[in-house]
Amino acid sequence: MKVAAVIVAAGRGERAGQSTEGPKQYRRIGGEAVLSHTLRAFLDCSHVGLIVSVIHPEDRHLYEQATGAVGARAITVIGGPTRQESTRLGLLALIEHQPDFVLIHDGVRPFIAQDLLQRIVQTLHPAIGVLPALAVSDTLKQAGPDAHVVATVPRAGLYAAQTPQAFPFAPILDAHEAAYRAGRSDFTDDAAIAEWHGLAVRVVEGSADNTKLTWAKDIEMADKRFAQDHG
Protein backbone atom coordinates (compact mmCIF):
# COMPACT_ATOMS: atom_id res chain seq x y z
CA MET A 1 0.00 0.00 0.00
CA LYS A 2 1.58 3.27 -1.16
CA VAL A 3 0.55 6.29 0.93
CA ALA A 4 1.58 9.84 0.01
CA ALA A 5 0.87 13.18 1.64
CA VAL A 6 0.10 16.66 0.34
CA ILE A 7 0.80 19.46 2.82
CA VAL A 8 -0.73 22.73 1.67
CA ALA A 9 1.31 25.74 2.75
CA ALA A 10 0.91 28.27 -0.06
CA GLY A 11 -1.43 30.68 1.73
CA ARG A 12 -0.57 34.21 2.77
CA GLY A 13 -2.09 33.84 6.24
CA GLU A 14 -3.52 37.34 6.19
CA ARG A 15 -5.79 36.75 9.19
CA ALA A 16 -2.69 36.18 11.35
CA GLY A 17 -1.34 39.68 10.54
CA GLN A 18 2.14 40.75 9.44
CA SER A 19 5.35 39.32 10.85
CA THR A 20 9.00 39.69 9.95
CA GLU A 21 9.18 35.88 9.94
CA GLY A 22 6.82 35.72 6.92
CA PRO A 23 3.39 34.06 6.56
CA LYS A 24 2.09 32.09 9.55
CA GLN A 25 3.40 28.72 8.35
CA TYR A 26 6.93 30.15 8.75
CA ARG A 27 6.37 31.79 12.16
CA ARG A 28 8.41 30.18 14.91
CA ILE A 29 6.80 28.14 17.65
CA GLY A 30 9.04 26.30 20.07
CA GLY A 31 12.01 27.79 18.20
CA GLU A 32 11.09 26.25 14.83
CA ALA A 33 8.86 27.21 11.91
CA VAL A 34 5.26 25.93 12.15
CA LEU A 35 5.74 24.10 8.85
CA SER A 36 8.85 22.27 10.00
CA HIS A 37 6.89 20.79 12.95
CA THR A 38 4.12 19.74 10.56
CA LEU A 39 6.49 18.22 8.05
CA ARG A 40 8.40 16.34 10.74
CA ALA A 41 5.21 14.59 11.91
CA PHE A 42 4.74 13.18 8.40
CA LEU A 43 8.44 12.31 7.99
CA ASP A 44 8.21 10.42 11.31
CA CYS A 45 5.23 8.38 10.13
CA SER A 46 6.59 5.19 8.58
CA HIS A 47 3.35 4.58 6.59
CA VAL A 48 3.81 7.77 4.58
CA GLY A 49 6.14 7.66 1.59
CA LEU A 50 6.41 10.72 -0.62
CA ILE A 51 5.39 14.11 0.79
CA VAL A 52 4.46 17.04 -1.46
CA SER A 53 4.77 20.45 0.18
CA VAL A 54 2.72 23.02 -1.72
CA ILE A 55 4.31 26.44 -1.27
CA HIS A 56 3.95 30.02 -2.52
CA PRO A 57 6.44 31.09 -5.25
CA GLU A 58 7.79 33.88 -3.01
CA ASP A 59 8.42 31.50 -0.10
CA ARG A 60 11.10 29.20 -1.56
CA HIS A 61 13.82 30.68 0.60
CA LEU A 62 11.65 30.59 3.75
CA TYR A 63 10.76 26.96 3.02
CA GLU A 64 14.39 25.95 2.58
CA GLN A 65 15.37 27.78 5.75
CA ALA A 66 12.51 26.22 7.69
CA THR A 67 12.89 22.65 6.55
CA GLY A 68 16.60 22.32 5.77
CA ALA A 69 17.64 19.01 4.26
CA VAL A 70 14.44 16.98 4.38
CA GLY A 71 15.79 14.63 1.74
CA ALA A 72 14.16 12.97 -1.23
CA ARG A 73 10.96 12.05 0.64
CA ALA A 74 9.66 15.62 0.40
CA ILE A 75 9.26 17.53 -2.86
CA THR A 76 7.82 21.00 -3.37
CA VAL A 77 5.37 22.36 -5.90
CA ILE A 78 4.00 25.86 -6.33
CA GLY A 79 0.43 26.42 -5.14
CA GLY A 80 -2.47 28.49 -6.46
CA PRO A 81 -4.74 31.32 -5.32
CA THR A 82 -7.02 29.15 -3.15
CA ARG A 83 -6.43 26.21 -0.81
CA GLN A 84 -8.52 24.11 -3.18
CA GLU A 85 -6.28 24.97 -6.14
CA SER A 86 -3.11 24.43 -4.09
CA THR A 87 -4.37 20.97 -3.18
CA ARG A 88 -5.19 20.15 -6.80
CA LEU A 89 -1.68 21.17 -7.87
CA GLY A 90 -0.23 18.98 -5.11
CA LEU A 91 -2.30 16.01 -6.28
CA LEU A 92 -1.22 16.55 -9.91
CA ALA A 93 2.42 16.32 -8.78
CA LEU A 94 1.68 12.83 -7.42
CA ILE A 95 0.35 11.37 -10.68
CA GLU A 96 3.75 10.07 -11.78
CA HIS A 97 4.21 8.37 -8.39
CA GLN A 98 0.76 6.70 -8.44
CA PRO A 99 0.13 6.34 -4.70
CA ASP A 100 -2.84 4.22 -3.59
CA PHE A 101 -3.85 6.77 -0.97
CA VAL A 102 -3.14 10.39 -0.17
CA LEU A 103 -3.35 12.30 3.12
CA ILE A 104 -4.09 16.00 2.61
CA HIS A 105 -3.06 18.24 5.48
CA ASP A 106 -2.96 21.94 6.38
CA GLY A 107 0.62 23.10 6.89
CA VAL A 108 -0.69 25.21 9.77
CA ARG A 109 -1.73 22.23 11.91
CA PRO A 110 1.65 21.50 13.51
CA PHE A 111 0.24 19.50 16.44
CA ILE A 112 -0.74 16.51 14.33
CA ALA A 113 0.20 13.52 16.46
CA GLN A 114 1.35 10.03 15.46
CA ASP A 115 -1.67 8.33 17.07
CA LEU A 116 -4.08 10.31 14.89
CA LEU A 117 -2.01 9.53 11.78
CA GLN A 118 -2.13 5.83 12.76
CA ARG A 119 -5.91 5.96 13.28
CA ILE A 120 -6.37 7.48 9.83
CA VAL A 121 -4.01 5.06 8.07
CA GLN A 122 -5.74 2.09 9.73
CA THR A 123 -9.10 3.30 8.37
CA LEU A 124 -7.98 3.72 4.74
CA HIS A 125 -10.32 2.07 2.27
CA PRO A 126 -10.15 1.99 -1.56
CA ALA A 127 -13.67 3.41 -1.93
CA ILE A 128 -14.05 5.70 1.11
CA GLY A 129 -12.46 8.94 2.27
CA VAL A 130 -11.45 9.38 5.91
CA LEU A 131 -12.18 12.57 7.81
CA PRO A 132 -10.82 13.23 11.30
CA ALA A 133 -13.40 15.29 13.11
CA LEU A 134 -14.66 16.16 16.58
CA ALA A 135 -18.28 15.93 17.63
CA VAL A 136 -19.53 19.46 18.29
CA SER A 137 -19.91 20.03 22.02
CA ASP A 138 -21.04 23.65 22.18
CA THR A 139 -24.70 24.57 21.79
CA LEU A 140 -25.14 25.96 18.28
CA LYS A 141 -27.08 29.14 17.62
CA GLN A 142 -28.18 30.66 14.36
CA ALA A 143 -28.35 34.45 14.33
CA GLY A 144 -29.61 36.95 11.76
CA PRO A 145 -27.65 39.94 10.38
CA ASP A 146 -28.83 42.01 13.40
CA ALA A 147 -27.17 39.45 15.75
CA HIS A 148 -30.54 38.33 17.11
CA VAL A 149 -30.75 34.58 17.62
CA VAL A 150 -33.30 33.00 15.32
CA ALA A 151 -32.77 29.32 16.16
CA THR A 152 -30.93 26.77 18.27
CA VAL A 153 -29.45 24.21 15.90
CA PRO A 154 -29.55 20.59 17.11
CA ARG A 155 -25.93 19.47 17.38
CA ALA A 156 -26.55 15.70 17.29
CA GLY A 157 -24.55 14.25 14.39
CA LEU A 158 -22.59 17.46 13.78
CA TYR A 159 -18.78 17.37 13.58
CA ALA A 160 -16.00 19.94 13.21
CA ALA A 161 -13.70 18.79 10.40
CA GLN A 162 -9.92 18.60 10.75
CA THR A 163 -7.05 17.45 8.56
CA PRO A 164 -5.29 15.27 7.45
CA GLN A 165 -8.16 13.99 5.36
CA ALA A 166 -7.28 10.78 3.56
CA PHE A 167 -8.56 9.44 0.27
CA PRO A 168 -7.94 6.80 -2.33
CA PHE A 169 -5.72 8.73 -4.76
CA ALA A 170 -7.45 8.30 -8.15
CA PRO A 171 -10.99 9.16 -6.90
CA ILE A 172 -9.92 12.32 -5.04
CA LEU A 173 -7.87 13.48 -8.03
CA ASP A 174 -10.95 12.87 -10.26
CA ALA A 175 -13.11 14.81 -7.81
CA HIS A 176 -10.70 17.78 -7.79
CA GLU A 177 -10.43 17.77 -11.57
CA ALA A 178 -14.24 17.65 -11.91
CA ALA A 179 -14.60 20.60 -9.51
CA TYR A 180 -11.97 22.51 -11.50
CA ARG A 181 -13.75 21.82 -14.81
CA ALA A 182 -17.08 22.82 -13.25
CA GLY A 183 -15.57 26.16 -12.19
CA ARG A 184 -16.23 25.37 -8.53
CA SER A 185 -13.67 26.98 -6.27
CA ASP A 186 -15.79 27.42 -3.16
CA PHE A 187 -15.13 24.15 -1.34
CA THR A 188 -13.56 24.67 2.08
CA ASP A 189 -12.14 21.18 2.50
CA ASP A 190 -11.32 18.12 0.44
CA ALA A 191 -14.02 15.98 2.04
CA ALA A 192 -16.59 18.45 0.66
CA ILE A 193 -15.20 17.92 -2.86
CA ALA A 194 -15.29 14.15 -2.36
CA GLU A 195 -18.91 14.29 -1.13
CA TRP A 196 -19.91 16.51 -4.05
CA HIS A 197 -18.35 14.02 -6.50
CA GLY A 198 -20.04 11.01 -4.88
CA LEU A 199 -17.10 9.57 -2.94
CA ALA A 200 -18.24 8.32 0.47
CA VAL A 201 -16.46 9.85 3.46
CA ARG A 202 -16.42 8.48 6.99
CA VAL A 203 -15.49 10.19 10.21
CA VAL A 204 -12.76 9.02 12.58
CA GLU A 205 -12.19 10.67 15.91
CA GLY A 206 -9.96 13.72 15.52
CA SER A 207 -7.91 15.31 18.28
CA ALA A 208 -8.55 18.46 20.27
CA ASP A 209 -4.79 19.11 20.12
CA ASN A 210 -4.81 19.18 16.32
CA THR A 211 -5.79 22.85 16.06
CA LYS A 212 -5.36 25.06 13.01
CA LEU A 213 -3.32 28.22 13.54
CA THR A 214 -5.38 30.99 12.01
CA TRP A 215 -5.01 34.14 14.10
CA ALA A 216 -1.94 35.81 15.66
CA LYS A 217 -3.15 34.70 19.11
CA ASP A 218 -3.22 31.05 17.91
CA ILE A 219 0.50 31.31 17.11
CA GLU A 220 1.29 32.85 20.51
CA MET A 221 -0.67 30.10 22.26
CA ALA A 222 1.04 27.42 20.16
CA ASP A 223 4.43 28.80 21.16
CA LYS A 224 3.42 28.67 24.85
CA ARG A 225 2.10 25.15 24.40
CA PHE A 226 5.46 24.02 23.05
CA ALA A 227 7.26 25.62 25.97
CA GLN A 228 4.92 23.73 28.37
CA ASP A 229 5.07 20.37 26.55
CA HIS A 230 8.79 20.40 25.88
CA GLY A 231 10.13 22.89 28.42
Interface with ligand C5P by CB under 6 A: which residues? 8-11, 25, 54, 79-83, 86, 106-108, 212, 214
Residue number with CB closer to ligand C5P (2 or 225): 225
Give the pairing type, strands 28-29 and 3-9.
unpaired
Point out the residue whose Cβ comes nearest to ligand C5P: 11
Residue 22 CB, nearest approach to ligand C5P (Å):
11
- Return d(Cα 215, Cα 198) in angstroms, integer: 33
> Cβ atoms within 10 A of the Cβ of 42, count?
22
Residue 65 CB, nearest approach to ligand C5P (Å):
17
User: Is omega for the bond preceding 110 within 30 degrees of 0, making it cis?
Assistant: no
- With contact defined as beta carbons under 8 Å apart, do 10 and 78 qualify? yes
Residue number with CB closer to ligand C5P (22 or 168): 22
Residue number with CB closer to ligand C5P (4 or 106): 106
- Return d(Cα 199, Cα 197) in angstroms, integer: 6
Residue 138 CB, nearest approach to ligand C5P (Å):
20
Residue 108 CB, nearest approach to ligand C5P (Å):
4
Residue number with CB closer to ligand C5P (25 or 165): 25
Residue 107: φ, ψ to 5°: -60, -20
